[in-house]
Amino acid sequence: MASTLSQIDELNWKITGYSSAKYVDEYIKKTNWVGLCQIASSLNNGISCVLLDKTTNGLNNLVRILQFEDGTKWIARIRFRTSASSLVRLRSEVHVMQLIKEKSNLPIPKVFAYETDEHNPVGVPFILMEFLPGNTGMDSGGGFDVHRGRIPRGSCQKFYRSVADCQVQMTALRFPKIGTIVKTEDGYDIGPFQDIGGPFDTVAAFFEAWAENAQFPSNEQKIRDLMKGAPIEWTEEVLKSINEFPSQIKALARDLLHRDGNNGPFPLCHTDFLHSNIIVDDNFDVLGIIDWEGACTLPLQLITFPNFLKALPRPFDSPNNYDEDGQPVDAEDKQRWQDRRDYVQMVKSAEYEDHILSTCLSNEKHVSIAYCMTAFENGKLGFYNRVVDELRKIT
């Protein structure tokens, strides 16, 4: 049996720099912690609880541990962002977690209670959930100070195999539409994305809506400034490829779908599937996956690797980064390519009903398009046109 952390002090939690200390302190003061403990106690057979000093925070949330008299621990997660759109995402996150608990064995924390607005006895949006006795993969094994945010090399195979089993279970949850998870009186349904609408019955409709709404976050001058020192022809090509990428996706979609499928069912995806959102024990076996905000169903053409195995598509990158055989020059990139191949084999070993996930991950062209669409939204510079050209060769 995998070992687990036995003491709270072993949690490698740190106050992050995403939100200012003043901002965090404001929400700590704003929260009715006594009221939160009273709610928790009422949900746990009246057993009284106290708040421990152990806290951490990210961009959107503050996390604190509650401990009951019997030793049981829960997590209290306080929401910083309280705009209407942020709270819609919070509600969808809870619905996703409830669905996963009901429909699968995927390891995630159980949600005991939640409020998605500030008009409640606690004074802030919150979630009370199960405490998983481990660190994130990012923080384990000494954390960033020791491993610079990477999984220790000696633990990679065990960790990847455990994650592969989780991703197989995740993508086995499939739905007839593309969109966000919404809980209803009758069960669960698929709702719209906040930025592009929907839900979508077909892959073509999703790609077209994405293309019509996609905006690169940097203007031309900023792009030119970032590419100072690069050959001028590369700068012009990158600028042109960024301007044309959404329309190319829209034009390409129907040809691509004619061959690869336009209809569902569509799998559930964690949109920030990174080791900072994966809780592990001290052997790097997965105890649970957290932070399901933004989780949604997506086309098979956009199913890709966990973010810790993300790699630049070769056509997207500078040609100088590859040798004459097309292999990465950088040793770390070369290792990541090998890790991806190993991960696909682990997925195949974990699959039990079909081989959809391993098939998606083995399709380099689709994985490249998934990378490019996310990179475009995040403002990453690269040769988008060359990725599209590679895909056109097989349409």
Q: Which of 391, 372, 392 is nearest to 383 (CA)?
A: 372
CATH 3.30.200.20 residue spans of the chain:
8-133
Say how far apart CA 172 and CA 268 lie, in whole Å: 8
Nearest-10 Cα torsion for 107, 113, 115, 116: 20
**Three-state SS sequence of 224-264:** HHHCCCCCHHHHHHHHHHHHHHHHHHHHHHHHHHHHHCCCC
Scanning the structure block, which residue is given the tokens 């809780």? 279
Label residues 15-32 b or e (16+ Cβ within 10 Å = b): eeeebeeeebeebeeebe
Say how far apart CA 170 and CA 268 lie, in whole Å: 6
For 315-380, give the DSSP string. Answer: GGS-GGGB-TTS-BSSHHHHHHHHHHHHHHHHHHHH-SS--HHHHHHH-HHHHHHHHHHHHHHHT-
Record the pTM: 0.91
CATH 3.90.1200 residue spans of the chain:
144-392
Which phi and psi angles does 104 have, rounded to 5°?
-155, 175
pLDDT in tens, the chain (395 residues): 344 444 566 677 766 655 566 777 888 888 999 999 999 999 999 999 999 988 888 778 889 999 999 999 999 999 987 788 888 999 999 999 999 999 999 999 999 999 998 889 999 999 999 999 988 998 887 777 787 878 889 999 999 999 999 999 999 999 999 999 999 998 999 999 999 999 999 999 999 999 999 999 999 999 999 999 999 999 999 999 999 999 999 888 776 665 667 888 999 999 999 999 999 998 999 999 999 999 999 999 999 999 999 999 999 998 889 998 888 999 999 999 999 999 999 999 999 889 999 999 999 988 999 999 999 999 999 999 999 998 877 54
CATH fold label, 144-392: Aminoglycoside 3'-phosphotransferase; Chain: A, domain 2 (3.90.1200)
Scanning the structure block, which residue is given the tokens 């293309």? 211
β-partners of residue 184 are 187
Tokens of 25: 């302190």
β-partners of residue 126 are 78, 115
Say how far apart CA 179 and CA 163 lie, in whole Å: 24
Rounded CA Rg of the chain: 22
Q: Which CATH class is domain 8-133?
A: alpha beta
- pLDDT value for 57: 83
Cβ atoms of 276 and 307 within 8 Å: the answer is: no
CB atoms within 10 A of CB 136: 21
- pLDDT value for 27: 83
- pLDDT value for 59: 79
Residues 6+ apart with CB under 8 A from 99: 173, 181, 183, 188
